[in-house]
Amino acid sequence: MEIEVASGSASGSGSASVSNDGGGGGNDLEKGVQYLHGGEKGVAYLVWEDLTVVLPNFGHGPTKRLLHGLSGYAVPGRIMAIMGPSGSGKSTLLDSLAGRLSRNVVMTGNVLLNGKKRRLEYGVAAYVTQEDVLLGTLTVRETITYSAHLRLPTAMTREEINGVVEGTITEMGLQDCADRMIGNWHLRGVSGGEKKRLSIALEILVRPRLLFLDEPTSGLDSAAAFSVIQTLKNVSRDGRTVISSIHQPSSEVFTLFDDLFLLSGGEPVYFGEAKTAVKFFAEAGFPCPSRRNPSDHFLRCINSDFDIVTATLRGSQRLRETTQKASDPFMNLTTTEIKSMLVEKYKRSEYALKARLRIREISTIQGPEIETRSGSQADWWKQLSTLTRRSFVNMSRDVGYYWSRIVIYILVSLCVGTLFYDVGTSYSAILARGACGGFVTGFMTFMSIGGFPSFIEDMKVFYRERLNGHYGVAVFILSNFFSSFPFLVSVSLVTGTITYWMVKFRPGFSHYTYFCLNLFGCIAVVESCMMIVASLVPNFLMGIIAGAGVLGIMMMTAGFFRLLPDLPKAVWRYPVSYISYGAWSLQGAYKNDMLGLVFDPLVPGDPKLTGEDVIKNLFRLSLDHSKWWDLFAVYVILISYRLIFFIILKLKEKASPFFRSLYAKRTLYYLSKRPSFKKKPSFPSKMHHNLHPLSSQEGLCSPST
């Protein structure tokens, strides 16, 4: 399946053509959106009740509550802002709702989607995380185009898909950087804000029914932030449910939000319509000054970090304080106290009551069931071909993936070739051939570990896209194999040809072919082994260490450093030498090279040594199976490793919810036995806080003013 990336020239200067030529991109975008509406009917009503997240410490210090019994709802057609100071639990709340909490925390409470309790994973919801995980070698337009082909319905034509892509580029204001590379470790690419907009573009492309965004405007100027939130508002107007955390929006941006969830220290300060928040603050005694941005005012009231700022400013303002003290009854309030008052006031307010009633009402709405794999509407084949193409483009542009390895392989092959040049058939050549075979099947293949860092980056993108339901595990593994195939063949052919002809191994085309096939098998096995390591140890340095250790063991038991029959029977001979690709490939390499050759004897005049004698008596290998069986075993190991990789990824998906719930049960049982684990009073004792007068904070009005 051919994929044509909508290039600027093809579409008539990209974005401009979309906006100016109303019949082109714009219409296609509408058509695309209509497709999506038609293809996936259904809306998402999300309700969360008494959501508590704790970080258990199991006896090492107090257990920390990250979220304190939050309740709320999000409905289609509306966009909700989660606001609060840094560390207040915005990301934790989003993670809890999206079912993506990290393993070390435990969540209690209910999250209901359309009245049903279910896990929101793998495509039910789209989530734009705080961190941008993208393939740095692709351009912005390519990234969106591949993503569109991966997920938009197969029935859509290429022109329609390109229309959606161009429309999305324009919507997110990415026209200027559309043909620029995203950038990676060796290539400076688009800016942080552009990356963020691209991440959002990738998710809004298919108009997901439930969209979570973690600080989508960080790194953007206020005009860009406004247009991003305006786009999200348009998405929500299509009947989508949008929940976004946001740090400190400008007043223009704030007015775009329909609902507001204000958090402080994991506690709800306000939940309800965004425009009534100002009223709530006024009713609670903290009205927003007329010329102040409401979101600034809210955060000023609840961010206890301002107490520290105030303490610093206090000295210089002492005089003003004393004059104001007499008239201001709230003179001695700290933001910690203001926050606690607001929390208490909110709990007893009509807003909380209204929210509770609405939650009860929405909980009973039995909306349509949302299929799990709704992240993509493209068929399996289209996903596979698109992903293979994207992966191939990435591999061919990433210098670190294969190109640098090919260069190193050529250099090392030349070294081996010159070191063992025309090795011959003298008696000393027997050991030289053995050593050369051992080096090529062992150390040369070991160098394939070099692609690990690039593969780790691939895996990060896979995890992000997998969680958003873009495609499945099998598609990822197969596409990776198909796209890497030409590179692996090139590495094996180049290395095999140089080494084989320079060293002058056993002549004959079939022997040369065997040599290259054996090399290909070994390099592919090493790659597969590193994939398994990457799935278990997804850290670059730890992964390299672990992978090198495993491969080192395989080399040790290959039969070169210690002959196979001499290996200790327990563990090393059985099973390690049987599951080590090195043992099979080395046996095959020896047979391929030596069978049929005749070597000079140690003492001149003695009978000549045949290759069979050398293999049987010197290397003590059995000749009861042919070299092709050895090659077959290497390929069986290769397939087994890929299967193991697949099983690990699948198991991680399937088993992790089970282990998470076990861990949660165990933790809750442990916590229930601790008398200290009871609800913290939301109105803190004055003993634990330094008091800094509210009025010493610039512009913050106390209730009486």
Ligand X SMILES: Nc1ncnc2c1ncn2[C@@H]1O[C@H](COP(=O)(O)OP(=O)(O)OP(=O)(O)O)[C@@H](O)[C@H]1O
The nearest distance, CB 125 to ligand X, in angstroms, is 18
Angstrom distance (rounded) from CA 30 to CA 34: 6
By C-beta, is 86 or 622 nearer to ligand X?
Answer: 86
Q: Which residue number, 94 or 211, has a Cβ lying nearer to ligand X?
A: 94
Cβ distance to Mg ion smaller for residue 91 or 702: 91
Query: Whole-number minimum distance, CB 91 to Mg ion, in Å?
Result: 3
Q: How far is the CB of 215 from ligand X (least distance, A)?
A: 6
Distance between CA atoms of residues 448 and 176, nearest Å: 38
Q: What are phi and psi of 701, to 5 degrees?
A: -80, 135
Three-state secondary-structure class, residue 131:
coil
Q: Is 413 exposed, middle or buried (0-12, 13-18, 19+ CB in 10 A)?
A: buried
- Check whether the bond before 575 is cis (ω within 30° of 0): yes
- CB of 194 or CB of 214, closer to ligand X: 214
For ligand X, the closer of residues 646 and 663 by Cβ is 663
88 binds, among ligand X, Mg ion, none (CB under 5 to 8 A by kind): ligand X
189: its two tokens: 């690419």
| CA–CA distance, 384 with 673 (Å, rounded to integer) | 51
Number of residues that bind Mg ion (CB under 5 A): 1
Residue with tokens 């100027």: 221
Tokens of 18: 């979309």
Query: From the list ligand X, Mg ion, none, which binds 232 (C-beta under 5 to 8 Å, kind-based)?
Result: none
Going residue by residue from 62 to 91, which x/- string records binding to Mg ion, judged by CB under 5 A? -----------------------------x
Beta bridge partners of 245: 82, 214
Longest CA pairwise span in the chain (Å): 118
- Look at the block and give the residue holding tokens 């003993």: 687
| Minimal distance, residue 253 CB to ligand X, in Å | 16
Q: CB of 285 within 8 A of CB of 330?
A: yes
CB of 130 to Mg ion, least distance (A): 5
Residue with Cβ nearer Mg ion (247 or 275): 247
Contact 169, 144 (CB under 8 A): yes
Q: Is 259 left (phi over 0), alpha (psi -120 to 50) or beta?
A: beta
> What is the DSSP-derived secondary structure letter of residue 213?
E
The listed partner (Mg ion, ligand X, none) that binds 104, CB under 5 to 8 Å by sort, is ligand X
Query: 55 touches which of ligand X, Mg ion, none (CB within 5 to 8 A by kind)?
Result: ligand X
Find the shortest distance in angstroms from Cβ 87 to ligand X. Answer: 4
Spatial separation of the C-alpha atoms in residues 282 and 182, rounded to whole Å: 46
Q: What are the residues binding ligand X (CB under 6 A)?
A: 55, 66, 84, 86-92, 102, 104-105, 247
Which entry of ligand X, Mg ion, none binds 84, CB below 5 to 8 A by partner kind? ligand X
Q: Considering the rule CB under 5 A, would residue 92 count as an interface residue with Mg ion?
A: no
Min. distance of Cβ 243 from ligand X in angstroms?
13
Shortest Å, Cβ 342 to ligand X: 17
17 binds Mg ion (CB under 5 A): no
Q: Between residues 83 and 370, which has the closer beta carbon with respect to Mg ion?
A: 83
579 binds, among Mg ion, ligand X, none (CB under 5 to 8 A by kind): none
Report the partner that residue 668 touches, choosing among ligand X, Mg ion, none (CB closer than 5 to 8 A by kind).
none
Report which secondary-structure segment, H or E, holds 246: strand 241-246
> Could you give the count of Cα atoms lying within 13 Å of 518 in the half-sphere of its Cβ?
32
For Mg ion, the binding residues (CB under 5 A) are: 91
